[in-house]
Amino acid sequence: MSDNQNSNLIMDAVKGNNVAIGQLANNLNCDFNNLSSAICGVRAGIQEVAGNINFSAERVINAANLGDMNIVQQLKDCCCQTQ
């Protein structure tokens, strides 16, 4: 499967599409529940950043897709730092 197809599945999964999560889990050979939990964490991070900057979640996603490095950095800081 092409990277573009997986990217589309990721976007659908973030939007809550369980079929996309299942297909992505299969493509990545990982557990559905673990992947679903990870996607929930990303979704929560998007919501947190959206609230912090008064954007809708969709606007945060669009900004990240367009390469807005400020948004990408905020998502990274929110979701990807380990303590």
At 18-71, the pLDDT tens digits run 999 999 999 999 999 999 998 888 888 888 888 888 988 888 888 888 888 888
Return the pLDDT at 36. Answer: 92
* Single pTM value for the model: 0.72
Return the pLDDT at 83. Answer: 45
Q: How many structural domains are present in the chain?
A: 1
Domain that holds residue 34: 3-79
- At residue 20, φ and ψ (nearest 5 deg) are -65, -40
Distance CA 70, CA 52 (A): 13
Return the pLDDT at 32. Answer: 94
Contacts of 64-71 spanning 24+ positions with Cβ under 8 A: none
